Amino acid sequence: CCHPTISYRPIRPSDLEILEQIHGDIFPIRYESEFFQNVVHGRGIVAWAAVDHSRDDGKSDELIGFVTARVVLAKDSEIVDLLNYNSAESEWSLVYILTLGVIDSYRNLGIASSLILEVIKYASSIPTCQAVYLHVISYNIPAMHLYKKMSFKCIRRLPGFYLIDSKHYDAYLFVYFVKAC
Ligand code: ACO
């Protein structure tokens, strides 16, 4: 019984408070308030929200999950070596996923998978876009399973990439190729 009816929509300014709260709850890294402002106003960042329309607590439009991403130039990125890039391809771009999260009570329902599909669909709609990529902290097993299931390839390990409470943690770099390289 009672499968929630999840839908996906762009993030908007009214999502600011809850977006910031969920980031604070589920990520070990603190983000500047400027980051959240940029997300909700779409300044250099694209973002999607998941909401549960079947909620009857007056919160049927409140965020339960989100993904935030940025379009970057391939030539300025750390994965330019993975692409068959030469200077004639100076307009090539990539989509970099900044943050992805789903609140606890809505996990394992496929919501993060759907949010990633939104990003892949968006990246595929950009003619110059070659790939979607992201970093994940090395102990985050659920996230790594998710990316592998979504056909991302784990490309490299980056020692000490994250600094959290004065401690370094490795990251893995995952890439999903939108175009054959
Ligand atoms: N253990 C192992 N694998 C898991 C787990 C888990 N607890 N949870 C999800 N997965 C993997 C599985 O492969 C699963 O596929 P399956 O159900 O066929 O086995 C797959 O993820 C898809 O799961 P979804 O239901 O789509 O994922 P969900 O909506 O639960 O969200 C997420 C997953 C985003 C990792 C969630 O657990 C979360 O918000 N965690 C905290 C924040 C976080 O770690 N975000 C990602 C950091 S990396 C970044 O932001 C770029």
Cβ 100 under 6 angstroms from ligand 1: yes
**What pLDDT is attached to residue 179?**
86
Is residue 22 in some structural domain? yes
Q: Where are the beta strands (DSSP E) in the chain?
A: 6-10, 46-52, 63-73, 93-102, 129-137, 153-164, 167-177
Is residue 1 in some structural domain? no
**What pLDDT is attached to residue 180?**
72
Q: Among 16-20, 55-59, 103-107, 118-122, which is the least confidently predicted range?
A: 55-59
**If you average pLDDT over residues 118-132, what whole number do you get?**
97
**If you average pLDDT over residues 166-175, what whole number do you get?**
98
| Residues of the domain holding 141 | 6-177
Is residue 124 in some structural domain? yes
Cβ 103 under 6 angstroms from ligand 1: no
Q: What is the ipTM of this complex?
A: 0.96
**If you average pLDDT over residues 53-65, what whole number do you get?**
94
Summarize pLDDT for 12-56 with one digit per residue, the tens.
999 999 999 999 999 999 999 999 999 999 999 999 999 999 998
Token digits for 36? Answer: 């959240």
Q: How many domains does the chain have?
A: 1
Tell me the CATH number at 53: 3.40.630.30
Is residue 123 in some structural domain? yes
Candidate from 23, 52, 102 with most ligand 1 atoms within 8 A of CB, to mutate:
102
Query: Which amino acid is present at 97?
Result: I
Is residue 64 in some structural domain? yes
**If you average pLDDT over residues 142-171, what whole number do you get?**
97
Candidate from 27, 107, 117, 118 with most ligand 1 atoms within 8 A of CB, to mutate:
107
Is residue 16 in some structural domain? yes
**What pLDDT is attached to residue 140?**
98
Is residue 23 in some structural domain? yes
Is residue 68 in some structural domain? yes
Residue carrying structure tokens 């300025």 = 76
